[in-house]
Chains A and B, each alone.
Chain A
Amino acid sequence: MKAVAKTAREVSFFGAVAFFVILTTFPFYWMVITSFKSNSDLYNVTNIPFWFNEAPTLEHFKYLFEQTLFTRWMWNSLVIGLCVVAITLVTAVPAGYSLARMNSRSGETLGIGIFLTYLVPPTLLFLPLSRIIAVLGLQNSMWALVVVYPTFTIPFCTWLLMGFFKAIPPEIEEAAIVDGCSLFGAFVKMVIPLSVPAILTVVIFTFTLTLQEFVYALTFVSAADQKPITLGVTTDLVRGDVFFWGEIMAGALIASIPVAIAYNLFLDRFISGITGGAVK
């Protein structure tokens, strides 16, 4: 009897795990299978939709790369991502360090203040920002996004870095200062080399945040050749009322893969950063 109860428990446990995995992955499985199916297979309600009824095909990927601006969108996203990463690093690394080393109360207050701006939503700021973008002469250009994206990557990364810098003992800089380094020199020569893993985390997250962003891109960029990948795939592959599902799913799949991998590699660091030491 005991063995039966144990087996029943195991089965229900793994059944529940399977339920969660199917729930989370099915839409992505759907992306994969749609992107490799031929159109005659895709748009036939008598076919079983879960697998290939006809031979898999690369026609959607071919169309995506040859007949659409997909490669251009990939390039745009790469350029936007790298520029935003550069701006974020130049501002957030010194700021995070400074806040971590400031005397506790004012540093903490300023840090929380910067972090709270991360919570000011794009849907509140897009109207005035579109005016500012117009004044800067950047309307309908991907460079508008390079200017705007740091408004959420800087607060977020400053907060993450502040936590990481706090974990580096100040004695290391003090030793360097005793050896004749200036305060700034100690930061550059001692603290930054020790923080390479943290800085790498920030690079990855800044980049993925720019890939995930949708609202600002939608608001500021309507020229097809200026769109980043997420916006291009979701809004530019619909002709009139016709959705090119095979192409849309193929594009979504390609854009999803790098983000999914990067996030999974850095997930634990991300969580410890986002909860901001609420857990000791």
Chain B
Amino acid sequence: MVSIAEPVAKPASRYRFLMDRREVLGSFLVAPAVLYVLLLVGVPFLLAVYYSVSAYTIYDPSWRFVGLANFAQILRNPVFLQTLGNTFLFTFGSQALGLVLGKFGAFLLLRPFPGRKIVRALIVLPWVVPIALATVAWQWMFDSLYSVINWTMIALGVLTREDAPNWLGTPHLAMLCIIVVNAWRFFPFAIVIFLAGITSVPQDVIDAATVDGAGFWRRNYQIIMPMIFPIVAIGLIFGIVFTFTDLSIVLLLTNGGPVGSTSVLGFEGFQVGIVSGDVSHGAAISLFMLPVLFIVVIGMLRFIRRRDI
């Protein structure tokens, strides 16, 4: 009887033995997440790269390889070059504006005052509320006829109703609008990041610097800024990635217009690849985001690793 029972018990115990080994259980636990990400991020990513060198459209789903012809065509298109320029202007314009506002706001919130918690809760709103919803509120504020901004300026006597600007209908103003809305959306994030960084600087370091004769600006720029640089860099990396690849603000606010003056890479990829169904050119346009993403990823790795030091 014992010899019959033994083979049944053995596989069970071997299984248990395997699951009790840290490496085996570890890979078993991490596998579903890795598989999900590989299948629905890794595979589509490779597919996107292949689309960009193929002649694939939704009307003619062929996998014919055309090399870099799509990229060559895109680069010859002046509209695309404008889109590329717009994307950089949109990204760096709004990040610069957001950082300045963020730094200034963080310094205000550093000082304790009654109601600071409520003020912080209100200030983070632009960042937490779904951007698509906030964007339609801005769209309504920039309305050509009922703009509250214009109304206020007319009431203050700065403008007359005749020369009130059509914010979203004038190329340079439309660009300014998407930059402002994006900066408005990101600066609360910058404030929160700066605050997290500044409050993490040990007080004794600041005290020691003060004793050694460092004034406000010197403490600020030679002690605090270098110490919080890694965390600010991570915040900035997030801001750059999400702005450089953004689609929703442009789509809802200006729809790329007027005449392509606010078109950005994500929007152009959407128009060409999804709306027009020219998948291969759409993918090629989207892939122009990659160099920036690569630089950002390298930066990210450096700053994440830095915490070991």
Contact = CB atoms under 8 A, between A and B. Distances in A.
Nearest to A148: B40
B22 interface: yes
B301 A112 contact: yes
Interface string B1-44: 00000000000000010011110011101101110110011111
Nearest to B19: A184
A234 B48 CA distance: 28
B20 A123 contact: no
Given A31-B137, A214-B131, A279-B197, A120 B41 contact: yes
A27 to B, nearest CB: 4
B269 interface: yes
Contact of B121 (A16, A87, A249, A264): A264
Please tell me the size bucket of the interface on A. Answer: 35 or more
A75 interface: no
Interface string A200-235: 000000001001101100110000000000110110
Contact of B130 (A110, A183, A212): A212
A141 interface: no
Interface string B276-293: 000100110011011001
B65 interface: no
A234 B132 contact: yes
A119 B298 CA distance: 12
Interface string A84-120: 0001001110110111011000000010101011011
Contact of B297 (A42, A43, A119, A255): A119
B125 interface: yes
B129 A130 contact: no
Contacts, number: 279
B19 A132 contact: no
A256 B25 contact: no
B167 interface: no
Nearest to B118: A21
B48 A128 contact: yes
A61 to B, nearest CB: 16
A27 B141 contact: yes
Nearest to B154: A45
A151 B304 CA distance: 22
B304 A128 contact: no
B126 interface: yes
Given A101-B26, A125-B48, A219-B274, A249 B192 contact: no
Contacts of A252: 133-134, 136-137
B124 A267 contact: yes
A222 B287 CA distance: 25
Nearest to B161: A45
Interface in A20-76: 20-21, 23-25, 27-28, 30-31, 34, 42-43, 45, 48-50
B41 A151 contact: yes
A168 interface: no
Contact of A124 (B136, B246, B286, B304): B286
Chain A binding surface, main DSSP class = helix
A91 B276 CA distance: 36
A24 B131 contact: no
Interface in B84-112: 101, 104-105, 108, 111
A27 B231 contact: no
Nearest to B127: A263
A274 B238 contact: yes
Interface residues of B, number: 101
A95 B30 contact: yes
Nearest to A212: B130
A129 B44 contact: yes
Contacts of B289: 121, 123-124
A7 interface: no
Contacts of B128: 208, 259-260, 263-264
A193 to B, nearest CB: 17
Contacts of B247: 122-123, 214-215, 218
B307 A277 contact: yes
Contacts of A172: none
A81 interface: no
A275 B297 CA distance: 14
B137 A28 contact: yes
B259 interface: no
A132 B41 CA distance: 11
B282 to A, nearest CB: 6
A208 B130 CA distance: 9
B304 to A, nearest CB: 6
5 contacts: A95-B29, A98-B30, A125-B48, A127-B286, A128-B283
Given A117-B42, A147-B40, A215-B266, 5 more contacts: A123-B247, A128-B51, A249-B137, A276-B304, A278-B306
Interface of A: 13-14, 16-17, 20-21, 23-25, 27-28, 30-31, 34, 42-43, 45, 48-50, 87, 90-92, 94-95, 97-99, 101-102, 110, 112, 114, 116-117, 119-132, 147-148, 150-151, 154-155, 158, 182-184, 187, 208, 211-212, 214-215, 218-219, 230-231, 233-234, 243, 245, 248-249, 252, 255-256, 259-260, 263-264, 267, 271-272, 274-280
Closest 5 pairs (CB-CB, A-B): A121-B245, A123-B266, A95-B33, A128-B47, A94-B29
